[in-house]
């Protein structure tokens, strides 16, 4: 007998719109009057990519924040499905890094805390090394600096560890990598 465990994905309460397709996908072969509008969005808290259907007469634009939780929704009729980055429109793909950066700015303390608390993965590697542009040498510098005092913000990290050009961009790139499924470790996606 094989026992399977259902893995539940984190539920998003709010999403940020990446693209709004008023007439649905162009490759949809249904008659024009049967096509439904589509919203491609990313979850505000867990970075889940979603495809949504807005309510009749609702028009959205990139960067709009929309409620999709269990309560009464005012703009979204239903969640159609989760989507992968390769299914995003060109507009959504272009907006994705900017929206992720905006979300990181809104919760900067959470991501700075990651730099202050990240731990080892094994005897030979550290979680900090999973961030793009941070190797063993950079990780050692970060660890030495956080021993002296915890980092206060991204600017503090940049000032104290000058070999890392932009600690916030490293997190943006890491989230994009996780969305693409480029690594088995999940530091930020769905956490």
What is the domain count for the chain? Answer: 2
pLDDT score at 163: 84
Please state, in angstroms and rounded to a whole number, the distance separating the CA atoms of residues 4 and 7.
9
* Position 8 pLDDT exceeds 70: no
Q: Are residue 113 and residue 77 in the same domain, yes or no?
A: no
Of the candidates 91, 82, 85, 80, the one whose C-alpha atom is nearest the C-alpha of residue 26 is: 91
Task: For the chain, give the percent of residues with pLDDT over 70.
Answer: 90
122 in the same domain as 75? no
Pair 36, 75 in one domain: yes
- Residue 35: its pLDDT value, please? 74
pLDDT tens digit sequence for 75-123: 999 999 999 999 999 999 999 999 999 999 999 999 999 999 999 988 8
Asked if pLDDT for residue 137 goes beyond 70, the answer is: yes
What is the per-residue pLDDT for 6?
A: 47
Residue range 49-59: average pLDDT?
93
pLDDT tens-digit readout, 11-44? 889 999 999 998 777 776 666 656 788 999 999 9
Structural domain including 142 reads 107-180
pLDDT of the residue at 95: 96
Q: Is residue 189 part of a domain?
A: no
Strands 38-43, 65-67: pairing is unpaired
Q: Between 170 and 189, whose confidence is greater?
A: 170
Within 13 Å and on the Cβ side, how many CA atoms surround 100? 25
Top-confidence range, 91-95, 132-136, 137-141: 91-95
Q: Give the Cβ contact number of residue 112 at 10 Å.
A: 22
Token pair for residue 74?
């005012």
CATH number at residue 33: 2.40.50.140
Q: What is the mean pLDDT of the chain?
A: 88
- 188 within a domain of the structure (yes/no): no
What Å distances lie between residue 2 and 5, 6, 7, 18, 157, CA to CA?
10, 13, 16, 40, 48
125 and 77 belong to one structural domain: no
């Amino acid at each position: 007998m094989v026992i399977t465990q259902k893995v539940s994905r984190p539920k998003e309460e709010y999403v940020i719109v990446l693209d709004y397709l008023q007439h649905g996908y162009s490759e949809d072969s249904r008659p024009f009057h049967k096509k439904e509008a589509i919203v491609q969005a990313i979850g505000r808290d867990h970075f889940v990519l979603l495809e949504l259907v807005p309510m009749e007469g609702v028009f959205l634009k990139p960067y709009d924040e929309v409620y999709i939780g269990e309560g009464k929704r005012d703009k979204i009729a239903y969640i159609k499905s989760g989507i992968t980055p390769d299914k995003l429109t060109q507009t959504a793909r272009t907006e994705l890094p900017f929206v992720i950066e905006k979300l990181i700015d809104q919760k900067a303390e959470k991501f700075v805390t990651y730099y202050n608390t990240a731990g080892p993965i094994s005897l030979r590697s550290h979680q900090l090394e999973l961030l793009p542009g941070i190797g063993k040498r950079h990780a050692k510098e970060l660890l030495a600096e956080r021993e002296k005092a915890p980092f206060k913000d991204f600017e503090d990290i940049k000032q104290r560890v000058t070999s890392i050009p932009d600690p916030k961009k490293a997190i943006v790139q890491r989230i994009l990598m996780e969305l693409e499924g480029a690594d088995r470790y999940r530091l930020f996606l769905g956490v």
